[in-house]
Structures are given as structure tokens and as C-alpha cells.
């Protein structure tokens, strides 16, 4: 049995015990705006409560992007308070819900996974990527820092030194490197991506939901002793960065496709 829910920024389909959530903003590389975050939160809440749903899959529409971060055009016009609310909303209503729900969540990474998209990939319990996928935390390029958990999640996945490198340089890595570092579980050709994810979904559906819930909770507990305080600090630092002159210059340069001129304030 298949059911579809009506949203404007995402597609949400429930079929054979699986919730398929697709960020549907391909013209802007599936970046996240306020509306998309609200819809993701709504779909996740519904899937969590639906006893027929055993596994969730999150992906992006098209062949170019899983999620290329936040929608900078919308974000830049928000006040500092609204920027903070935006960041907390994404972290708590989307990422923390994924982390806390007692069902497996798979990221089906079909292209760019940058900024918030990289954080979303790392938050999901499992991740399968197509060979054309690219990963990174490029916020430093506009004088910002990761705001959805990147500073806390990257070290847990790739180690301190590599996390420093990725967050300080803003460099992107390809899917094979992401697999080597542990950001994703497996890399496959694009035309094999959904097939591979369905194989994993079916394997998970064959397991006890109780056992899967307990495994997820126990493994996540091993990572959470300092995670929550680190996430809270990251939010404040991110908000502070977004009030700087350098941030305004970085965004302006990004939109104008030119090299920024930093002032250090």
C-alpha cells in the first residue's frame, strides 16, 4: 500500500513499511529554507508515530544534490535572533529527531551533501552515496562555521585532525573518500543507488524492530556524553559569526561570485 502526503518543499511517500522523504528543491540544489525544515520535521514526526513504518530513507530530488546546505538567500535576510531560531529548529526538530527516533534512518546521498546536507548525512544512522556525491562543510568560505552539528559530528566520524582540515579549509571530498573516512557506509554508481538502498532497507525490515531500536539507542548513547553541550556551544558561535562584517562580506562575495575581502571583524 502506498500513500503520499502533500507538501511544497519535500515529497513524502509511505510504501511497504518504508517512509521515503525527498527534499524537492532541485533548482537550488535542495538547499533548506524555513518551509523545508518545517516540512521535514512534520514528515519525520509522522513517520516516527506510524507503527507501520519500519525504516526511513532521506534523499534529494534530481541527480545533482542531496542537500547543498541552507538557502543562503533566505538566511541572510533574517535577523540574528531569527538566524539562531532557524539553526536551532533544524538541529532540534530534524537532526535530533532523527537521532532520537527508534527506527533506522538511511541517507540516500545522490549528489552534493554540503553544510547542513553533510550534517544530515552524518546524523542518519546509515548512508549510501552515489559516486557523484561530494561532501564538505564550506561555511568558512563565507566567514561562518557549521551550525547544525558539523563541528561536533565531523570529529566523531573522521577524527580531530581531518575535521579541523575540512572545517578550516572548506574543501570538498568525493564519495570514495567519504566512505574511507566513515561518513558513508558504501559508495555505488548513481544508477545502482536506489537498488542498493532498497537491499539495505529489506535487510533492516527483516530484523526485530525492538532490537534495532535498542541497538540505535545504545550506540548513540556512547557518543552523547559531551555532544549536547558541544551542539549548544556551536549554535551560539554560529550565531555570533553570522553577525560579523566578514560574514556579510562573505555572503555578498558568494552571491556575486567573487573573492571576498576580509576585515577580521
Name the residues annotated as catalytic.
Answer: 119, 139
45-72: buried (b, 16+ CB within 10 Å) or exposed (e) per residue?
Answer: eebbeeeebbbbbbbbbbeebbbbbbbb
Torsion (CA) 200, 216, 186, 149 in degrees, nearest 10: 130
Q: How many CB atoms lie within 10 A of CB 79?
A: 9
Measured CA to CA in angstroms, residue 81 lies from 72, 85, 161, 195, 243 at distances of 16, 6, 32, 43, 10
Backbone angles phi, psi at 112, to 5 degrees: -55, 130
What gap in Å lies between CA 33 and CA 116, rounded to an integer?
Answer: 11
Cell numbers for 244 = 560579523
Q: Residue 115 in contact with residue 139, Cβ under 8 Å?
A: yes
CB 111 within 8 A of CB 92: no
Q: Answer yes or no: are the C-beta atoms of 99 and 68 closer than 8 Å.
A: no
Joined grid coordinates for residue 243: 553577525
Place of cell 552515489: 130
**Do the strands 126-130 and 105-109 form a parallel or antiparallel pair, or are they unpaired?**
parallel
Amino acid at each position: 500500500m502506498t500513500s503520499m502526503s502533500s507538501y511544497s518543499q519535500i515529497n513524502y511517500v509511505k510504501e511497504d513499511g518504508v517512509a521515503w522523504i525527498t527534499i524537492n528543491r532541485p533548482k537550488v540544489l535542495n538547499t533548506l529554507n524555513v518551509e523545508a525544515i518545517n516540512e521535514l520535521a512534520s514528515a519525520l514526526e509522522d513517520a516516527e508515530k506510524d507503527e507501520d513504518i519500519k525504516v526511513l530513507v532521506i534523499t534529494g530530488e534530481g541527480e545533482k544534490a542531496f542537500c547543498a546546505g541552507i538557502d543562503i538567500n533566505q538566511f541572510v535576510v533574517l535577523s540574528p535572533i531569527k538566524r539562531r531560531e532557524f539553526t536551532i529548529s533544524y538541529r532540534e526538530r530534524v537532526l535530533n529527531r532523527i537521532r532520537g527516533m527508534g527506527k533506522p534512518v538511511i541517507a540516500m546521498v545522490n549528489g552534493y551533501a554540503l553544510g547542513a546536507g553533510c550534517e544530515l548525512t552524518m546524523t542518519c544512522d546509515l548512508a549510501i552515496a552515489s559516486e557523484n556525491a561530494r561532501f564538505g562543510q564550506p561555511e568558512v568560505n563565507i566567514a561562518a562555521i557549521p551550525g547544525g552539528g558539523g563541528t561536533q559530528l565531523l570529529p566523531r566520524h573522521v577524527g580531530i585532525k581531518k575535521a579541523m582540515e575540512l572545517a578550516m579549509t572548506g574543501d570538498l571530498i568525493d564519495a570514495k573518500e567519504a566512505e574511507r573516512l566513515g561518513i558513508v557506509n558504501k559508495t555505488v554508481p548513481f544508477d545502482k543507488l536506489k537498488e542498493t538502498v532498497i537491499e539495505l532497507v529489506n535487510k533492516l525490515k527483516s530484523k526485530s524492530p525492538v532490537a534495532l531500536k535498542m541497538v540505535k539507542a545504545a550506540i548513540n548513547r556512547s557518543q552523547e556524553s559531551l555532544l549536547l553541550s558541544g551542539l549548544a556551544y556551536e549554535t551560539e558561535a554560529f550565531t555570533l559569526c553570522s553577525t560579523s562584517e566578514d560574514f556579510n562580506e562573505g555572503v555578498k562575495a558568494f552571491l556575486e561570485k567573487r573573492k571576498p575581502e576580509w576585515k577580521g571583524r
